Amino acid sequence: MAAAPALLAAVLLLALLLGAPQESSAAAAGDAHPRYADEGSCGLDDSGAADAIPALRLEEERGGARRKIIDITHAYVPDMPAFRQGAATGPLVRLMVSMANGSEYNESELRMNCHTGTHLDAPGHINQDHFAAGRDVDTLDLDVLNAAPSHCAPLTFLSLSCELVAMSPPSPLMAMLLLAMSMLHCALVASGSGCGIAAHPAYTDDSAGSCGPEAAVAGTRLEEYDGGRIVDITHAYRPELPAVGPDGLGPVVHLIMSMANGTLFNLSELRMVVHAGTHVDAPGHMIQEYFEAGLDVDKFDLAVLNGPALLVDVPRNTNITAEAMKSLGIPKGVCRVLFRTLNTDRKLMWKKEGDMSYVGFTEDGAQWLVDNTDIKLVGVDYLSVAAFDYLISAHVVFFKNPDIIPVEGLKLDDVKAGIYMLHCLPLRLVGAEGSPVRLPLIHVSGCPMLKEALHVGICSLKLQILKETVLSKVAVCSKLSIMSPLLVMLLLGVTTAPCALGSDSAAHPAYAAAVDAAEVRLEEYGRGRIVDITHAYRPELPGPGPDGLGPVTRLKRSMANGSRSNSSELRMVVHAGTHVDAPGHMFQEHFEAGLDVDKLDLDVLNGPALLIDVPRDTNITAQVMKSLNIPQGIRRVLFRTLNTDRKLMWTKVIDMSFVGFTEDGAQWLVDNTDIKLVGVDYISVAAFDHLISAHLVFFNSPGIIPIEGLKLDHVKAGLYMLHCLPLRLVGAEGSPARCILVK
């Protein structure tokens, strides 16, 4: 390959420059709820504070690292717009069990239209062929939602490098990076089939119908995307998931409008306990004071939920005791650990009936972790982080330190132990003590060319420091065969970065009395590295009636009523707030064929994305698309329109004058670009006068994934790493989604 030396030099130069130290910051990093610090770091600049509408702001996290993550997802609030004239979504989360009512824990229910707020559309939303074929949101490609170009991950690693050493490339380097990425991608795929990866890759002719109705339900196999670069460790929400009782979880989505019965589209409702399947717990689940203080899942720190993670194997003859924790030899500085146990070997997550003999943390094991490690994210492979005999006591140990986020019900079958980039994105359920989540792992050493360059360059700068620090600690862990130069440097970064940046801030600083609820503002995390572009599911989201979406969670069990925990039920239409559509939404053939959200390609849903501004006096027509001059090869584009300026997602009543794609605009995109992910800033990708026809253009090409209801207020136009993760709702034509941008 003639261009290889120059390319390696460019990548190496970028990597080395990314390793240059930047000015340190006194601000603390990495706690679970950082935007609650007294500094009010998530607000606007002083110049814009007076004019800002509450909650309409750029959602980033403060910090020394100038690489930023921006959340462009709307929170699910009741006044979000719903898809009827004059309507809003209303509340989506209801507290079903409440510690305030005496329960042992809080538990919420999510109930919402799948196309509410920030959401994704799958092709079956308006294309019945895709709907019948099963092109649902769970088949969307996480690589499109979260990743770098196919077969290599330079941008993924370089963004990781920024996180670990608190660096960020200046503008000229970003230009070089984009050039290097383009050259590298062309070189790697020149002999392949091109870059047009379909959103539902299993639906190609040679797939043997693996995603069709005749196919078996996904089993304990390794679910990989983009040639194994992305691994999905989330369990699909199938009826056979374990639950209390002999029959399993049961169905969680119900078709409330059906094209088979003559409607213009398919529309499902999601109804489930928020602690089912793969999910995350907030401190209010078992500590009533935190529940009353509002420490819900919407206030978790995206910088904790996104970053390098260590997957370790726990000794198979024990719960996770203090002795077991000590034996693992996890180095200080590692803040995200996934614990694989006997639960995976016994395939407990594949059995309907809950098994109380599962492995989990004992009280002393949880306390040892809190006292002796820097771990902030604890992932386990069954429904509870705590062993049954320590169900309350071990949970309480974690929840008393609200910096720590338990992630439960992980799918770790056949995943190799080692270090990965983890993206854990719960729904933005305001007031809920738990949430279903989607979690992909991304390999950080999958590109041989980049690995070689890093081996020659950066690692030579770091290994001397490693000799007497990290390596001596890692050597005691026989389960980790991960010590390639790249991964050694990664571990060094996660070990030394917390020391340099500080780690003594409160996890929920935003709960200070002077801080108001979520506002129309930029929601940043990781010192501005991550931006949340998802709308929280607040009752005021646009919904079908005059009062907005309304609550989507209901407290089923309440500690205030004497229960040992709070437990909520989630009930919502899957197209509410920020969401994704699957092809079966408007194509009955795709719906019947099983093209649901669970089959959307993660390769499409994860990767470099371009945020652009559309001319404000028009819908997105063919002429507008042509004027935007989007280059060939760009696969993910977020379109910011007059909808953001008018703050339509902050209006309860649905406004039919919203901006969207016309039929000819959608057709121009399909015919003249390589775009596979289309993001818009209102609850429909199609303008109202082209509601069905423009949707059908997209869904007729099931390789395209619409994401609707994005929160793009105050986010700068430009190139980002996008991670857009819908729930794994088997059979659903849409799903609520969490979308973030990483600078």
Range with lowest mean pLDDT among 81-85, 317-321, 521-525 = 81-85
Paired strand residues for 224: 231
In the predicted model, what is the mean pLDDT of residues 74-81?
A: 80
DSSP alpha helices (H): ranges in 135-266?
142-146, 154-165, 171-189
CATH topology match: 279-455 vs 576-742 = yes
DSSP element (H, E) containing 419: strand 418-423
Range with lowest mean pLDDT among 54-63, 273-282, 408-417, 648-657 = 54-63
In the predicted model, what is the mean pLDDT of residues 148-159?
A: 39
Q: Please answer whether residues 515 and 36 qualify as being in contact, where contact means their C-beta atoms are separated by less than 8 angstroms.
A: yes
Sign for the CA dihedral angle at 73, 78, 82, 88 comes to: negative
Residue 131's pLDDT is: 78
pLDDT tops 80 at residue 327: yes
Residue type, 414: D
Question: From the CA atom positions of the chain, what is the Rg in Å?
Answer: 23
What are the residues whose beta carbons fall under 8 Å from the beta carbon of 723, sequence distance 6 or more?
145, 146, 306, 423, 425, 605, 606, 739, 740, 742
User: What 3 state SS string does 665-699 have?
Assistant: HHHHHHHHCCCCEEEECCCCCECHHHHHHHHHHHH
pLDDT tops 70 at residue 462: no
Share of the chain above pLDDT 70, in %: 68
* Structure confidence by residue, pLDDT tens digits, 187-216: 333 333 333 335 544 333 333 333 333 333
Q: How far apart are CA 300 and CA 428, in angstroms?
A: 9
* Structure confidence by residue, pLDDT tens digits, 526-584: 889 999 999 999 999 998 888 899 999 999 999 999 999 999 999 999 999 999 999 99
CATH T-level topology, domain 279-455? Glucose Oxidase; domain 1 (3.50.30)
Residue 21's pLDDT is: 40
For residue 582, give the nearest of 114, 187, 68, 96 by alpha carbon: 114
Domain 576-742: homologous superfamily in CATH: Putative cyclase (3.50.30.50)
Task: State the angle between helix axes of 154-165 and 171-189 in degrees (0 to 180), rounded to the nearest 10.
Answer: 150
Helix %, strand %, coil % for the chain, to 5?
30, 25, 45
Range with lowest mean pLDDT among 64-68, 650-654, 666-670 = 64-68
* Structure confidence by residue, pLDDT tens digits, 15-59: 444 444 444 333 333 345 444 333 333 333 333 433 444 456 565
Residue 468's pLDDT is: 35
Phi, psi of 678 (to 5 degrees): -120, 110
Identify the residue with better confidence: 140 or 603: 603
pLDDT tops 60 at residue 229: yes
DSSP element (H, E) containing 624: helix 622-628
Identify the residue with better confidence: 72 or 311: 311
Mean pLDDT of the chain: 76
Q: Please answer whether residues 597 and 139 qualify as being in contact, where contact means their C-beta atoms are separated by less than 8 angstroms.
A: yes
Largest CA distance in the chain: 71
**462-472 burial: b if 16+ Cβ within 10 Å, else e:** beeebeeebbe
Residue 221's pLDDT is: 77
Phi, psi of 18 (to 5 degrees): -65, -25
Q: How far apart are CA 204 and CA 404, in angstroms?
A: 42
In angstroms, what CA-CA distances link 715 with 257, 262, 431, 481, 614? 35, 41, 26, 40, 14
Residue 70, SS3 per DSSP: strand
* Structure confidence by residue, pLDDT tens digits, 419-440: 999 999 999 999 999 999 999 9
* Structure confidence by residue, pLDDT tens digits, 94-139: 766 565 676 655 556 777 777 888 888 888 787 777 878 888 887 7
- Domain spans, the chain: 279-455, 576-742
Q: Please answer whether residues 506 and 40 qualify as being in contact, where contact means their C-beta atoms are separated by less than 8 angstroms.
A: no
